[in-house]
Amino acid sequence: MKKSNFYLGLIAALILMSVSVSAEKKPKNVIVMIGDGMGLAQMYSAMTANNNHLQLERCTYTGFSKTYSSDHYTTDSGAGGTAIACGVKTKNGMIGMTPDSVKIESILELSERNQLSTGIVVTCAVTHATPASFIAHQVNRDMYEEIATDFLKTDIDVFIGGGLKYFNNRKDQVNLVEKLKNKNYQVAYSLDEALNVKSGKLAGLFYEDHCPAMPKRGDMLPKSVMAAIDILDNNKKGFFLMVEGSQIDWAAHDNDKKQIVKEMLDFDETIGKVLDFAQRNGNTLVIITADHETGGMTILNGKFGSDDMDAYFSTKNHSGVPVPIYAFGPGAEQFTGIMENTAFKGKIEKLLDFKK
């Protein structure tokens, strides 16, 4: 072999190696899981009740997210969700907009524009603040019917939760369910109906308003999330999915420690199933975090295996403390340290090599 050929070969091998090394570090799919109101104490109450173990522990990368909004030390879920989804701090109550009411493209919409499949699965009405932040642009989170209309302006592939009445029983008499069908959505009114859908577009609106609390909801969340992944994973280019454990927050507003454990364990079971998929798949980044802490919860004493712990709350509302981030899969190392809640979008965008 000529010496020049040897060096050419060596250079080619080095280039191939560096390509494969960097390819290993980039995810194809991203799943963002938001435990609404899930601070450290909410997480630890479930870990305590579940005999000192959670699926969440499989995430080897952890960090903290600073949750304050543009106008309040303590955020609401509108500004908190908007920060995660759109990468901007906005005023409490606003959805997918800057404080000056300028619409900002969310990471879900950006994923869609870059030909990824997209989805949302939640345990509240799909029009509620957290899911709305990923798809809608409204000055006020209470504009549920306007937010429902915003779903039709996107090409989201799968959305599952409650909130049917905001689509088919509206002040303006417009039937958005019919419009969804015209846009080739398969509309499912129950989990069983949704589980029959294996490809194409799916709108799962299982309840008139929010889904019931645990345990009445059963395994709606884990099963719906896996059904969504099954459909979204048909796209070779990848997918972006947002999953919310919506009702951890509501149990914490009620200062109901046992209900917090129930909602947390439902979310954690879902996390386990998602991590199983990510592990099998190998190209999936899973980021788990919260929009804020709720209840100012603390635990002074407890017994592993029991949900009857010495838990206290300092408020019936949200608190301003940072919330944990847990990450798994290629790119997970990007979500460590202490970061602003506005940093998620840019980091995901970069990992997925999106065009602006």
**Residues 85 and 341: beta-carbon distance below 8 Å:** no
- Site of interaction with Mg ion (CB under 5 A): 36, 77, 130, 246
β-bridge mates for residue 186, sequence order: 202
CB of 37 to Zn ion, least distance (A): 6
CB of 8 to Mg ion, least distance (A): 57
Q: How big is the chain, counted in residues?
A: 356
Residue 249 or residue 263: which is nearer to Zn ion going by CB?
249
State the Cα torsion 303-304-306-311 to the nearest 10°.
60
Give the nearest residue (CB) to Zn ion.
249
Residue 293 touching Zn ion (CB under 5 A) = no
Residue 249 touching Zn ion (CB under 5 A) = yes
Burial class of residue 116 (count of CB atoms within 10 Å of its CB; 0-12, 13-18, 19+): buried
CB of 36 to Mg ion, least distance (A): 4
Residue 349 touching Zn ion (CB under 5 A) = no
**Residues 9 and 334: beta-carbon distance below 8 Å:** no
Distance, in Å, from the CA atom of 271 to the CA atom of 171, rounded to the nearest integer, reads: 37
Residues 6+ apart with CB under 8 A from 247: 36, 123, 124, 210, 211, 213, 214, 263
Among 45, 65, 69, 77, the active-site one is 77
Residue 47 or residue 290: which is nearer to Mg ion going by CB?
290
Residue 145 or residue 249: which is nearer to Zn ion going by CB?
249
* Binds 145: which of Mg ion, Zn ion, none (CB < 5-8 Å by kind): none
* Binds 259: which of Zn ion, Mg ion, none (CB < 5-8 Å by kind): none
CB of 354 to Mg ion, least distance (A): 25
Residue 150 or residue 249: which is nearer to Zn ion going by CB?
249
77 flagged as catalytic: yes
Residue 244 touching Zn ion (CB under 5 A) = no
Distance, in Å, from the CA atom of 226 to the CA atom of 277, rounded to the nearest integer, reads: 9
Distance, in Å, from the CA atom of 150 to the CA atom of 332, rounded to the nearest integer, reads: 31
CB of 225 to Zn ion, least distance (A): 22
**Residues 289 and 31: beta-carbon distance below 8 Å:** no
* Binds 130: which of Mg ion, Zn ion, none (CB < 5-8 Å by kind): Mg ion
Give the nearest residue (CB) to Mg ion.
130
Residue 71 or residue 233: which is nearer to Zn ion going by CB?
71
φ/ψ (deg, to 5) at 325: -120, 135
| Residues acting as catalytic residues | 77
Query: Which residues make up the interface to Zn ion (CB under 5 A)?
Result: 249
